[in-house]
Amino acid sequence: MTTATTMAPGSSAGGMRREPSSGGPIRLGFVPLNDCAPLIVARELGIFDRHGLKVRLSRELGWATVRDKLAQGELDASHAPCGLPLALSAGLQCVPTETVAGVILNLEGNAITLGQGLWDAGVRDATTLRQFILQNRNRRVLTFGTVSANSSHSHLLRTWLNSGGTPVDQEVRLVVVPPPQMQANLAAGHLDGFCAGEPWNSLAVADGCGWIAATSRTIAPGHPEKALVVRAEFARRRNEEHVALIAALLEACDWCAMPANHASLAALLAERRHVGVPASVIRHGLSGPLPRGCGLPPVSGSVATFAGPWVHEPGPDRTAWIATNLLDASLRAQFSPERLARIFQGDCHRQALALSEQPHPESPRESSLLPA
């Protein structure tokens, strides 16, 4: 990870300012999660301004809203799960829409949280959850929340459940719930558990309605999580702004990765217009330790990875992992390596590195993360 100067929210990073774009503001969506941090930081620290960008951030409830607004042209771009551009291209629950993902914003960052009632019933892991399901199969069907059918969350949840011997589609119900609504639905008893990004797992623990059974780092180490997803039309018509947008976010990612900045970052995300969760809860997912609840040992270190070698470039191995694990088998054949390369454009990332004022020690070497 590169070094950067610690700055308080609202201050401006140094460096030359580029002339503002003559186009309208870039309509950039985000969902309230810890990993929307680079977008918030780029605006609040003046990084967008320095790159000559006019950006209007739009807080969205969940990924279905982001998908629909990108498809309808109401957003130009958004922070989004890496599987979303594939769902848009395939026209899953929307009009087929071509998008470009020129940069990975972060790796990992999710957790699986189960309700307090399951702990009280003796569930401790995926194996004991399977035992509970077998003992109660004639009484109830457990319901688990995931943020999108085509996201790492669904893959992580299925993988974890399968590790204990639970066939998901036969024995439990998966439902899509926006991330900010996970904790409330768990507390109300509508969900028995969920997989979501921070801070919604930490909030469930803090409120006493849930406990963290596993983190994404233990299930799929180094998995790509969020990307900057941009309408292909916007990327073609406003290419310079697209590249500058990626460059600005790369600088913001470096800032977010620095532990010295985490107190300021947590306070910034805690604002109601951003994530709206107490800074003390948000901080757990940024710096650690991450409390798991129910007397379990906490998870040390950060939950998400915002910067470092090989984090940001959407190379072939990484995009193959995305297609293999985040799409149903019936859809995978539609996405040849050539089609994936048109969506996950590594060239955009490399062009942005030349504009970024932070040195990024990226390498053409591929990620070691291979398709499962």
| pLDDT of 112 over the 70 cut | yes
Q: Residues 107-114: what's their mean pLDDT? A: 97
Per-chain mean pLDDT for the chain: 90
Phi, psi of 212 (to 5 degrees): -90, 120
| pLDDT of 310 over the 90 cut | no
Q: Bridge partners of 224? A: 107
CB atoms within 10 A of CB 54: 14
Residue 75 tokens, joined:
């957003």
Give SS3 for 144.
strand
Please give the residue that has the higher pLDDT: either 366 or 22.
22
Tell me if 22 sits within 8 A of 220, measured CB to CB.
Answer: no
* 51-65, 334-348, 349-363: range with highest mean pLDDT: 51-65
- Which residues are CB-contacts of 238 (< 8 A; sequence separation ≥ 6)? 21, 23, 26
| pLDDT of 362 over the 60 cut | no
Cis check: omega of the bond before 289, within 30 degrees of 0: yes
CA distance 265 to 219: 27
Residue 187 tokens, joined:
């507390």
Lowest mean pLDDT among 27-36, 87-96, 165-174, 359-368: 359-368
Residue 190 tokens, joined:
């509508």
Give SS3 for 55.
strand
Phi, psi of 65 (to 5 degrees): -65, -45
Q: What is the pLDDT of residues 15-38, one digit of tens each?
A: 455 554 557 999 999 999 999 999
State the Cα angle at 280 between 275 and 282, rounded to 5°.
40
Give the dihedral of Cα atoms 165, 171, 174, 180; nearest 10 deg: -70
What domains are defined for the chain? 26-107+223-278+305-355 (3.40.190.10), 110-219 (3.40.190.10)
Q: What is the pLDDT of residues 224-267, one digit of tens each?
A: 999 999 999 999 999 999 999 999 999 999 999 999 999 999 99
Q: Packing angle between helix 316-326 and helix 152-163, nearest 10 degrees?
A: 70
CA distance 288 to 153: 21
Q: Residues 85-102: what's their mean pLDDT? A: 96
CA distance 130 to 111: 19
